[in-house]
A and B are shown apart, each in its own frame.
Chain A
Amino acid sequence: EPEVTQTPSHQVTQMGQEVILRCVPISNHLYFYWYRQILGQKVEFLVSFYNNEISEKSEIFDDQFSVERPDGSNFTLKIRSTKLEDSAMYFCASSGDRGLSNEKLFFGSGTQLSVL
């Protein structure tokens, strides 16, 4: 089965630093997502992205966050100035069709971000 690939698996950064998390979605997919899971808490939706635009975002996705599809294969999440509370597992996902009813989301294995 095709996979969503996330790199690195673990990233450590200093508070206040910028960090970019990278994802390679499944090649023919058009819809892209970021979720995060703080240790011991629920998986939370951050943002969905289609046609080079944000489709939907949660309250968590504030001005410190941005997403980009810089080329035909990568999908990135940037955190401009990391805070301690940004420490979490970040999951990328992609789907081939619009909306939850039409296609399943394929998730990557996540990047564990540790902010020191």
Chain B
Amino acid sequence: AQSVTQPDIHITVSEGASLELRCNYSYGATPYLFWYVQSPGQGLQLLLKYFSGDTLVQGIKGFEAEFKRSQSSFNLRKPSVHWSDAAEYFCAVGARGSQGNLIFGKGTKLSVKP
């Protein structure tokens, strides 16, 4: 069955520290891969997406993610976290040709210490 696993429910990092949020997926074929962020009271905002080509993708707000087919992973990284990055982060996969049917992970809540 198709699934997305985000093993970390809650992560706390210090401002200025690096960040890596983990995402593993189970999918029959190479899926489309996404990271979304949700700040309190806001909707989901797309950070970045991977469809094909270069396995390292750059997104907004200084985030990047690397697709590793051998590990079925699509981890999100940021070299230096800002206090405004505190939010909930969702990894999602979608089938090629799908009309918006995204499968989401449970999310990782990021807290940032001053």
Binding site for B on A (CB under 8 A): 3-4, 31, 33, 35, 41-45, 48, 50, 55-56, 58, 91, 93, 95, 98-101, 104-110
Contacts and interface: CB of A to CB of B under 8 A. Distances in A.
B23 to A, nearest CB: 13
Contacts of B95: 100
B100 A93 contact: yes
A37 to B, nearest CB: 8
B83 interface: no
A99 B97 contact: yes
B43 A108 contact: yes
A42 B98 CA distance: 19
Contacts of B101: 45, 48, 56, 58
A32 to B, nearest CB: 9
A98 B43 CA distance: 21
Nearest to A50: B99
B56 interface: no
Interface residues of B, number: 27
Interface in B93-107: 94-107
Residue among A35, A100, A101, A104 with max Cβ neighbours from chain B (10 Å): A100
Contact of A99 (B49, B99, B104): B99
Given A3-B43, A106-B43, A109-B42, 11 more contacts: A42-B104, A45-B101, A48-B99, A55-B100, A56-B101, A99-B97, A99-B99, A105-B100, A108-B43, A109-B41, A109-B43
Given A100-B94, A109-B43, A42 B106 contact: yes
B32 A4 contact: no
B74 interface: no
B105 A42 contact: yes
